[in-house]
Structure 1
Amino acid sequence: MSLLEISLLSLFIAQVLKIFTTLPPDFSRIIGSGGMPSSHASFVSTLSTTVGLNYGFDSDLFAIVTVFSLIIIYDAGGVRRAVGEQANVLNHLIKHLELGKLGKEKKIIKKDLRELIGHTPFEVLAGTILGVFIALINYYYL
């Protein structure tokens, strides 16, 4: 498979696995961000590993892909997770304000802010391991 095809397959597999990491299984997770495993980490680690296997782990191309992969992984586990935590605090604050001082039917926002945006370190690690595993299977067996 091509670099793009195997990377997209890795992304798809990670998204499908998210359905079954909640009880009961939640089929809406297939299109959402956040959760276990990180599809961002899986996607870019498959790409980086495949480039390393095909072009050498000392190649300039591997270095470039790895730098961008690390940025994406950091963003998935760090920045986006912080945004989700802030959304959680804001949702609680807004509910408190609506119940306390604004009266019965007053709504500050129409719907809650999305809280499941980023990943825990474990979710990122699981996605990374999944991505490397898929790349190795593709390289050695497909």
Structure 2
Amino acid sequence: MDFTYLVTPVLTWLVVGPIKFLITSVRQRRLAFDLVGNGGFPSNHSAVVTSMATLIALREGINDPAFGVAVTLAFVIMIDANSLRQHVGRQAAAINRLTSAGPGMGSNIKPLRERMGHTLAEIGGGIGTGIAVAFAINYLSRQF
């Protein structure tokens, strides 16, 4: 079995995490451990699925059925990241406002995380990062 297909998404996730942390920390002008998660630049999910689709394209070709499955999965993940999770974030903001509206309301309720989805720029950053990581892994795996 070629473990490159297993290692690529994991390495992509490990590459994107620190990038996202650094960019978020620079924007916030502090170490932003609490802000890294579902949202921010670049999109982890978009990077992971794009890296896998790219690796399949590089190794098997774009005519391989696995490439079609990977691209379809990537589109589903990216559409979800852009639309559905942004709606969830808006609902969390509304719930947070409701639970903190009156005296005694929500005094022991932890606020919900409001930053959930990704903008198109964040998804684009994930796509670019995923493609770059897949090319790097493919190149390095062919060298050794």
- TM-score normalized by the length of structure 1: 0.85
Relative to structure 1, the CA distance from residue 139 to residue 124 in structure 2 (aligned partners, 3 Å threshold; closer, same or farther) is same
How far is the alpha carbon of 1:108 from its aligned partner?
Answer: 7.0
SS at match of 1:20: helix
State the partner residue of 1:66: 71
How far is the alpha carbon of 1:141 from its aligned partner?
Answer: 3.8
Percent identity over paired residues: 28
What number of residue pairs does the alignment pair up?
135
Specify which of 10, 32, 42 is matched with residue 26 of structure 1: 32
State the partner residue of 2:58: 53
State the partner residue of 2:19: 17
- TM-score normalized by the length of structure 2: 0.84
How far is the alpha carbon of 1:89 from its aligned partner?
Answer: 2.5
SS at match of 2:122: helix
Q: Does residue 8 of the first structure (1) align with residue 14 of the second (2)?
A: no
SS at match of 2:115: coil
How far is the alpha carbon of 1:94 from its aligned partner?
Answer: 3.0
How far is the alpha carbon of 1:109 from its aligned partner?
Answer: 6.4
Asked whether the equivalents of residues 51 and 134 of structure 2 are also in contact (C-alpha less than 8 Å), the reply is yes
SS at match of 2:114: coil
State the partner residue of 1:42: 47
Q: Which runs of 5+ in 2 are unaligned?
A: none
How far is the alpha carbon of 1:58 from its aligned partner?
Answer: 1.4
Distance 2:7 2:39 in 1: 22
